[in-house]
Structure 1
């Protein structure tokens, strides 16, 4: 999970100066680069918290509940399109005010119970503020999608200020991630050609995978029974 020394946006604008574009455009460019860097910093803050929890559990419980951590920041085009769809002003300030999913962190766990273990540990930290939760594991989406979603805020310490930034967190098992990745590819390719039969098959696969998740959790519990207090 290496972060480059430059952002995607700053790379696109390398070499552009006020002699090439207007000063107003330059201010807008600088503002968006600063915003992107802010959200990149927020994903690093959250990812580091998860890494620390995973490392601590390695020594305290002799296991690593987290299989993988992924981070992303929406591209400028994706942000503009979402602002436009919702009728908001197309500025970095508007994006910060109106969008809560610009920064995203996905945590992939080995077992079902690990999702809630890691979630509770993160949310108990004093600098994390929970905005809202969507539990698509207990209440799957109609297409069968399962994952635990949180919108949180985290402070990002900059050179001259502390900014509070929204981050979307998704926590799921390896099996859930496998299904979600392939479902996204299938839905994208099928688009308008998708039939009820295909949709039902995709949902049936999600239910079978959920059953496997539960069976694997039960097997883990048999092999690793909880210790008596």
Structure 2
């Protein structure tokens, strides 16, 4: 394999020789990240359109916020190595489904399922994978709906299907996940202890209960109009 302008190859990357310098300067890698970025923007636009359209049905927007991110180069390398697969461009496309990620924060659980149904029913969207952590939360209490979507992106000389991970959360779920992330990665706290895990799970259950109660209140208000 030819070296890029910094003089590194993917073989050297696998060997651990200055991977940050190599992967950030590789033109083929940057092109692939550009393609993921474009796919992410395509899906983001679809949600923005849905948010505007669905607001006409109930005089409120189902989406509170949309955030996007492209996985960092070193995170990509580390995840490929954890999977025990080749570190290469083709391996990224084959083995990673979350290089491009979108988080859709909604007001109520019912908004999440409605948006998921609408996005998946579009004829240019392919649903690759669905994981419902709302109905089946993780052991620590984490709740979210995860979809892996594939969308066609039209570039100058080709049409390419690209994958984008979408995470749906309510405002309450997102609040819990943000706090849990800080606790989990705080160096002086052992988040694996049963006491902490149990407290996090208890908070998650309380937040989910509030989500459902607020949704019920919203439905009562809508029904009275």
Q: TM-score, normalised by structure 2?
A: 0.87
The answer as to 2:178 corresponding to 1:193 is no
Aligned to 1:175: 172
Structure 1: how far apart are the matches of 2:175 and 2:146? 17
Structure 2: how far apart are the matches of 1:207 and 1:21? 51
> For residues 179 and 24 of structure 1, do their structure 2 counterparts lie closer, same or farther at Cα, with a shift above 3 Å needed?
closer
Q: State which drifts further: 56-65 or 205-214.
A: 56-65
Aligned to 1:21: 6
Q: 2:183, 2:189 within 8 Å by CA — same for their partners in 1?
A: no
Aligned to 1:81: 78
> For residues 24 and 65 of structure 1, do their structure 2 counterparts lie closer, same or farther at Cα, with a shift above 3 Å needed?
same
Aligned to 2:223, the other structure's residue is in SS state: coil
Q: State which drifts further: 189-198 or 161-170.
A: 189-198
Give the Å deviation of 1:193: 2.3
Give the Å deviation of 1:205: 0.2
Map 1:99-178 onto structure 2 (within 5 A).
99-178=96-175
Q: Tell me, which stretches of 5 or more residues in structure 1 are unaligned?
A: 1-17
Aligned to 1:12: none
Aligned to 1:53: 50
Q: TM-score, normalised by structure 1?
A: 0.85
Q: 2:47, 2:119 within 8 Å by CA — same for their partners in 1?
A: yes
Residues paired across the two proteins, number: 210
> For residues 135 and 24 of structure 1, do their structure 2 counterparts lie closer, same or farther at Cα, with a shift above 3 Å needed?
closer
Give the Å deviation of 1:222: 0.8
Structure 1: how far apart are the matches of 2:125 and 2:224? 29
Moved over 3 A (4+): 20-28
Q: CA RMSD in A?
A: 2.3
Give the Å deviation of 1:213: 0.2
> For residues 171 and 22 of structure 1, do their structure 2 counterparts lie closer, same or farther at Cα, with a shift above 3 Å needed?
same
Cα shift readout 1:46-74 (whole Å, capped 9, x = no counterpart)? 10000000111233442200000011110
The answer as to 2:217 corresponding to 1:219 is yes
Cα shift readout 1:28-62 (whole Å, capped 9, x = no counterpart)? 81110001101111110110000000111233442
